[in-house]
Amino acid sequence: MAAPYGLEIIDNCETCRWKSDGFFCELPPAAVRAFEGVKYTSTYPAGAVLFVEGQVPRGVYLLCKGRVKLAMSSPDGKAVILRIAEAGELIGLDSAISGGAYEITAEALEPCQVNFIKRDDFLRFVQEHHTACVNVTEQLSKDYRAACFQIRSLGLSRTASEKIVRFLLAAASKGRETKEGIRMNISLTHEEIAQIVGVSRETVTRTLTELKHKALISVKGSTVLVRDKQALEALAA
- Identify the CA nearest to 44 among candidates 118, 107, 117: 107
Angle at 163 between CA 71 and CA 22, to 5 degrees: 50
Per residue in 161-217, pLDDT tens?
A: 888 998 899 889 888 999 999 999 888 889 989 988 888 899 999 999 999 999 999
Indicate the DSSP class of residue 67. -
Question: Does pLDDT of 19 surpass 80?
Answer: no
Question: Does pLDDT of 22 surpass 80?
Answer: no
Domain boundaries, the chain: 4-155, 160-236
Q: If you average pLDDT over residues 109-132, what whole number do you get?
A: 93
Q: How far is CA 166 from the centre of its chain?
A: 17
**Which three-class secondary structure state does DSSP give residue 15?**
helix
Q: If you average pLDDT over residues 11-17, what whole number do you get?
A: 69
What is the dotted CATH code of the domain comprising 160-236? 1.10.10.10
What is the dotted CATH code of the domain comprising 4-155? 2.60.120.10
How many C-beta atoms surround the C-beta of residue 15 within 10 A? 8
Question: Does pLDDT of 18 surpass 80?
Answer: no
Average pLDDT of every residue of the chain: 87
Per residue in 44-96, pLDDT tens?
A: 999 999 999 999 999 999 998 899 999 988 887 778 888 889 888 999 999 99
Instruction: Look up the pTM and report it.
Output: 0.78
Contact call for residues 181 and 216 (beta carbons, < 8 A):
no
Q: Do domains 4-155 and 160-236 have the same CATH topology?
A: no
Alpha helices by DSSP H, the chain: 29-36, 93-98, 119-128, 130-151, 160-172, 190-197, 201-213, 229-236
Confidence at residue 228, expressed as pLDDT on a 0 to 100 scale: 92
Question: Does pLDDT of 24 surpass 80?
Answer: no
How many C-beta atoms surround the C-beta of residue 74 within 10 A? 8
Ramachandran category for residue 47: left, alpha or beta (phi over 0 → left; psi -120 to 50 → alpha): left
Q: Which residues pair with 42 in a beta bridge?
A: 114
Residue 32 identity (one-letter amino acid): V
Confidence at residue 221, expressed as pLDDT on a 0 to 100 scale: 87
